[in-house]
């Protein structure tokens, strides 16, 4: 990809919607691609949309929100909303790596992350153990989740600004209508 393809004017025009588009794309990738992503570190993670996706349409008094809170197979209702112009406003993600799992809520409007759950860290210290060790482990696990979100977003941005976006858009359209 050349630098020219990153049109900052286009980027600024898209920015109000980039969070919504990112979550829509991620939802599409997790359902059609098995949710497996290889990170730049060569680690492979599984990413799944879990239980709760909100889509919203209209504004003000006509605002209409549909939230699916069932298992993945029951997210159909939220997906149907995409056909009528609803936007993904937030989603709960589950990230898995080996036996570790993280959960977090990601809001499209401002990229705020909430309800972040890391793999459990046993805070009881063993004899002679560095008192900072468990705290640092917890910080590492939080950082790991944020890294995954960052890498996924960077991957989306590369695609969004490349000529391949049209192909991806066709695939997303087919998925929405399937």
CB of 170 to other proteins, least distance (A): 10
Residue pair 131/125 in contact by the 8 Å Cβ criterion: yes
The residue (of 133 and 139) whose beta carbon lies closer to other proteins is 139
The residue (of 14 and 51) whose beta carbon lies closer to other proteins is 14
Q: Please, which of residues 82-101 interact with other proteins by CB under 8 A?
A: 82-87
Q: Is 140 in the site for other proteins (CB under 8 A)?
A: no
- Of 70-78, 90-98, 107-115, 125-133: span binding other proteins (CB under 8 A): 107-115
Say how many Å lie between the first and final Cα of the chain, rounded: 31
Total residues binding other proteins (CB under 8 A):
51
Q: Residue 108 CB: number of other CB atoms within 10 A?
A: 21
The residue (of 25 and 37) whose beta carbon lies closer to other proteins is 25
Q: Please, which of residues 33-92 interact with other proteins by CB under 8 A?
A: 57, 59, 82-87
86: alpha, beta or left, given left = phi > 0 and alpha = psi -120 to 50? beta
Residue pair 115/104 in contact by the 8 Å Cβ criterion: yes
Q: How far apart are CA 15 and CA 73, in angstroms?
A: 30
Q: What are phi and psi of 89, to 5 degrees?
A: -100, -30
Q: Is 136 in the site for other proteins (CB under 8 A)?
A: no
Rounded-to-10 torsion of CA 14, 18, 20, 22: 140
Q: How far apart are CA 24 and CA 67, in angstroms?
A: 14
- Of 30-38, 42-50, 94-102, 147-155: span binding other proteins (CB under 8 A): 147-155
Q: Is 17 in the site for other proteins (CB under 8 A)?
A: yes
Applying CB under 8 A, which residues contact other proteins?
3, 6, 8-21, 24-25, 57, 59, 82-87, 107, 109-114, 116, 139, 142, 146-147, 150, 153-154, 157-158, 161, 165-166, 169, 172-173, 176-177
């Amino acid at each position: 990809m050349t630098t020219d393809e990153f049109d900052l004017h286009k980027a600024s025009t898209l920015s109000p919607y980039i969070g919504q588009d990112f979550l829509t794309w991620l939802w599409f990738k997790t359902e059609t691609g098995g949710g497996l992503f290889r990170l730049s570190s060569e680690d492979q993670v599984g990413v799944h949309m879990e239980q709760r996706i909100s889509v919203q349409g209209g504004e003000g008094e006509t605002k209409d929100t549909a939230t699916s809170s069932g298992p993945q197979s029951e997210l159909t209702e939220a997906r149907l909303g995409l056909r009528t112009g609803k936007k993904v406003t937030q989603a709960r993600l589950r990230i898995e790596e080996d036996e570790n799992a993280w959960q977090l809520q990601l809001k499209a409007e401002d990229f705020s992350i909430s309800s972040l759950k890391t793999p459990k860290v046993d805070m009881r210290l063993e004899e002679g153990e560095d008192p900072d060790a468990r705290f640092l482990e917890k910080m590492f696990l939080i950082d790991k989740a944020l890294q995954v979100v960052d890498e996924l977003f960077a991957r989306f941005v590369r695609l969004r600004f490349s000529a391949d976006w049209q192909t991806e858009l066709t695939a997303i359209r087919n998925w929405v209508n399937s």
